[in-house]
């Protein structure tokens, strides 16, 4: 990565994380507490003097999506069990949502949890995803702390525009499975090898990982299913 780029290791990201905890929002919410609905929080939070605190807008709006495994067994078409959770566009709304939803390690087996740019559905055939692909990183089942940390740092890197090729980013997804959990980073132009390699390398730096990760084209996954091969590796 070029000097002065947007990326950075886990330590650097932790420093950026502190800067995103605006007005102590994270500290105000105890683990598992649901203090108010996202809609109420979106109206602004008063400070100790009763004044409404100005929010800090993100460059893009983002949306959380959830695919419930209990609905997958009865769905007639793929993706019909996918549900939009909430769209956020400020730092404060992100932390409000993040602190009031389950961490990946707390989700039931078979669940898929997504965070995508607003306006992009997390489906292979979606217009912004159809020509794209994904980088995938796996963690062994039982590595709960690592899994949750990877997810948080991936989210912060996306919404904080930490990737040099940020326009290529569609979103990220966690897949909770029996043997190993996965986090995938979806991009929109799979054929742009230089951009995808840049994203893959930066993602590894952000998560402070040395293990190789692979990139697969959505087109290959659709056509070849389990026989699809990875195109890029970093």
Q: What is the mean pLDDT of each run of 10 residues along the chain (234 residues)?
A: 42 44 36 41 56 85 90 58 93 94 91 96 93 91 83 97 97 92 96 98 95 94 85 95
Query: Would you state the pLDDT for residue 77?
Result: 58
Domain with 131 in it: 10-21+55-233
Q: Is residue 47 part of a domain?
A: no
Q: Is residue 32 part of a domain?
A: no
Query: Would you state the pLDDT for residue 192?
Result: 97
Would the pTM count as exceeding 0.75?
yes
Q: Is residue 137 part of a domain?
A: yes
Provide the CATH number for the domain around residue 169. Answer: 3.30.760.10
Q: Is residue 46 part of a domain?
A: no
Query: Would you state the pLDDT for residue 52?
Result: 65
Query: Would you state the pLDDT for residue 87?
Result: 96
Q: Is residue 102 part of a domain?
A: yes
The total domain count for the chain is 1
Query: Would you state the pLDDT for residue 197?
Result: 98
Q: Is residue 80 part of a domain?
A: yes
Q: Is residue 101 part of a domain?
A: yes
Query: Would you state the pLDDT for residue 141?
Result: 61
* Distance from C-alpha of 184 to C-alpha of 201, rounded to nearest angstrom: 14
Query: Would you state the pLDDT for residue 32?
Result: 35
Q: Is residue 188 part of a domain?
A: yes
Query: Would you state the pLDDT for residue 46?
Result: 62
User: Residues near 87 by Cβ (< 8 Å), separated by ≥ 6?
Assistant: 61, 62, 63, 64, 118
């Amino acid at each position: 990565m070029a000097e002065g780029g947007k990326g950075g290791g886990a330590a650097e990201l932790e420093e950026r994380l502190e800067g995103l905890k605006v007005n102590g929002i994270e500290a105000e919410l105890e683990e598992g507490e649901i203090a108010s609905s996202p809609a109420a929080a979106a109206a602004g939070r008063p400070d100790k003097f009763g004044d409404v605190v100005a929010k800090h807008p993100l460059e893009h709006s983002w949306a959380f999506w959830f695919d419930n495994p209990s609905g997958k067994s009865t769905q007639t078409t793929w993706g019909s069990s996918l549900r939009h959770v909430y769209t956020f566009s400020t730092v404060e709304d992100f932390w409000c949502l993040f602190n009031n939803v389950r961490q990946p390690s707390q989700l039931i087996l078979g669940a898929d949890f997504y965070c995508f740019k607003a306006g992009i559905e997390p489906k292979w055939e979606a217009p912004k995803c159809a020509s794209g692909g994904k980088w995938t990183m796996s963690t062994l089942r039982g590595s709960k702390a690592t899994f949750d940390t990877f997810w948080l740092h991936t989210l912060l890197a996306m919404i904080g525009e930490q990737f040099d090729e940020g326009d290529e980013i569609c979103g990220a997804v966690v897949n909770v499975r029996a043997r190993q959990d996965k986090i995938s980073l979806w991009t929109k132009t799979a054929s742009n090898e230089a951009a995808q390699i840049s994203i893959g390398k930066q993602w590894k730096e952000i998560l402070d990982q040395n293990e190789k990760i692979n990139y697969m084209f959505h087109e290959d996954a659709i056509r070849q299913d389990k026989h699809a091969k990875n195109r890029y590796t970093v």
